[in-house]
Amino acid sequence: MNRIDLEGRVAVVTGGAQGIGLAITERFLASGARVVIWDIDGKAMDDTVARLAKEHAGRVGGQRVELTDDAAVAAATAKTLADAGRIDILVNNAGITGGNGTTWELDPAVWRRTIEVNLIGPYLTCRHVVPVMMRAAGGQANGQGYGRIVNIASVAGKEGNPNASHYSASKAGVIALTKSLSKELATKGILVNAIAPAVAKTAMFAQMKQEHIDYMLGKIPMGRFVSVDEIAAMAAWLASEDCSFSTAAVFDITGGRSTY
């Protein structure tokens, strides 16, 4: 494993207790960062933090946060800032699939919840964390400040998966949010990029029908699912100083499925 240098950086990883978020948390810690997990699953988060603290004492913590609640996100931002003194990196990873079904069969409550978690959540975290990054950057242009935002989107946001209109729409929104926010911050030393993976084998598989899983695998020319560690490696580079002139970009990691 190549060691990306994140020494001294403070990162917030949403949904960092398991799956892709956990892999990103572990990769960031291995790269020298301090990581604060924001997760709705308090038990999973506590278990993860306790395990990781054995090797990375003083560099990993967590907060239980309902990311769709503006006040909760504001409080989490304030506490992280009070505890860690800064936030250099934000990874918007938390998300749900919302199950599968045709657009006309999906329950409106499920549709709304998927949009709330996958799109409103990243908007709210950016709403509160970006001003923190801007203050640290001192409003300086030409990359003199420092901030990195990595949004975990999906190839579904590019192409639209059948029987997943809610998930696809939410991830398309994440891509658009990335492009808009990045242009607003382009002269402030804060870079904003998205990662659009093909499906990875995580706990979210339990929310999907087998035929939908088979459909997604059949679309990947490399004939396998992406690993969470592969996604984490890309996130680590995007969070680092080595990523210095890429912003507003959507980085593909689909084994050849997406060609743009």
Query: Known catalytic residues?
Result: 167
* DSSP code for 7: T
Residue 49 phi, psi (nearest 5): -60, -45
| Residue indicated by tokens 């505890």 | 83
Q: Which amino acid is at 196?
A: A
**Paired strand residues for 62:** 37
- Look up residue 65 and give its two tokens: 């946060």
Query: Any alpha helices (H) in 91-164, and if so which ranges?
Result: 108-115, 121-137, 155-159
**How remote is the C-alpha of 83 from its chain's centroid?**
22
Closest residue by Cα to residue 89 from 176, 164, 190, 197: 190
- The residue length of the chain stands at 260
CA distance 145 to 46: 33
CA distance 23 to 203: 13
Q: Do 208 and 154 contact (CB within 8 A), yes or no?
A: no
The count of C-alpha atoms lying within 13 angstroms of the C-alpha of 76, restricted to the half-sphere facing its C-beta, is 29
CA distance 197 to 231: 7
